Amino acid sequence: MSENYQPSAGLKALDRLVGTWKITGGAEGTVRYEWMPGGFFLLQHVDLSQSGDSATGLEVIGNLRPFGEPAGTEVVSRFYGTSGDTLDYVYELIGDELTIWCGAKGSPAYYRGTFSADGNTATGGWVYPGGGGYETTMTRI
């Protein structure tokens, strides 16, 4: 293990998510982000409902770094849900615009949202292939 290894700039940019957020719109509930000690992984605790269905679980966000290999460049995640789902995502934050792709970067299913100037709200929505999706607002609480 290299002692010079540091979390990537793309991952560190997600620090603005740290805290608890109220989610309104097409999904309702709260999400809470916190750094795992060491700063290499951001944890998201999810407690949402959407169309009467519950989405509760834990998402681990970071750069893949398989044993003996260099860290990957994309910020990826896996969500582990209480219903047994495992969902993969790719995160990218450029300026005030956050994009989260379902599966691989460039996927036709994605979230895109924009942070307010004070960083305490983000508005955007999920887009699904063939139409659909929903608008949502995150407000820091």
Tell me the sheet residues that pair with 88. 78
d(CA 35, CA 17): 10
**Domain map of the chain by residue range?**
9-140
User: pLDDT band for position 130 (50/70/90)?
Assistant: confident
| Span of 20-29, 65-74, 84-93, 114-123 with lowest mean pLDDT | 65-74
pTM of the complete model: 0.93
Contact 111/118 with Cβ under 8 angstroms?
A: no
Q: Give the residue carrying structure tokens 């309702």.
A: 28
H/E stretch holding 63: strand 53-63
Give per-residue pLDDT as tens, 47-66. Answer: 999 888 899 999 999 999 99
Contact 136/112 with Cβ under 8 angstroms?
A: no
CATH tag, 9-140: 2.40.128.20
Q: For 3-10, what is the mean pLDDT?
A: 84
Answer yes or no: is pLDDT of 67 > 60: yes
Answer yes or no: is pLDDT of 4 > 80: no
Amino acid at 100: I
> Phi first, then psi: what are they for 16, rounded to 5°?
-65, -10
Task: Please give the pLDDT value at position 132.
Answer: 85
Q: Give the residue carrying structure tokens 């994605």.
A: 110
